[in-house]
């Protein structure tokens, strides 16, 4: 049985290698994942990965892309980091 994830979200921690995390996200995209987020706490940005596209970086109040099935969900980097800082 093969399980596919439509969306992969990784939060980079200080002890992790950025390249290893990107490699993991790219692997997922190559297996059918529709979108990947790499959340970078140090500069409070989110790197967005989509199949066959260059990554893009979103920060502050920029709206983050989500799955088409969740198109009404409007999240910004600021909201993501406010949640993470509350934990």
Task: Kindly state whether residue 54 falls inside one of the protein's structural domains.
Answer: yes
Instruction: Specify the CATH number for the domain of residue 20.
Output: 3.90.1570.10
Average pLDDT on 22-40 reads 95
Task: Kindly state whether residue 47 falls inside one of the protein's structural domains.
Answer: yes
Task: Kindly state whether residue 2 falls inside one of the protein's structural domains.
Answer: no
Task: Kindly state whether residue 55 falls inside one of the protein's structural domains.
Answer: yes
Instruction: Label residue 85 exposed, middle or buried (CB < 10 Å: 0-12, 13-18, 19+).
Output: exposed
Instruction: Label residue 87 exposed, middle or buried (CB < 10 Å: 0-12, 13-18, 19+).
Output: exposed
Return the closest-CA partner of residue 62 out of 74, 71, 52, 50.
Answer: 74
Domain count, the chain: 1
**β-strand partners of 49:** 36
pTM score: 0.88
- Statement: residue 48 has pLDDT above 90: yes
Domain interval for residue 14: 7-86
Task: Kindly state whether residue 1 falls inside one of the protein's structural domains.
Answer: no
């Amino acid at each position: 049985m093969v399980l596919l994830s439509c969306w992969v979200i990784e939060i980079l921690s200080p002890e992790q290698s950025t390249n290893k995390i990107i490699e993991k996200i790219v692997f997922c995209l190559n297996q059918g994942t529709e979108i990947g987020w790499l959340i970078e706490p140090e500069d409070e940005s989110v790197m967005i990965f989509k199949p066959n596209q260059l990554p893009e970086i979103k920060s502050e109040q920029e709206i983050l892309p989500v799955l088409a099935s969740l198109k009404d969900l409007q999240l910004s980097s600021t909201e993501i980091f406010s949640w993470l800082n509350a934990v």
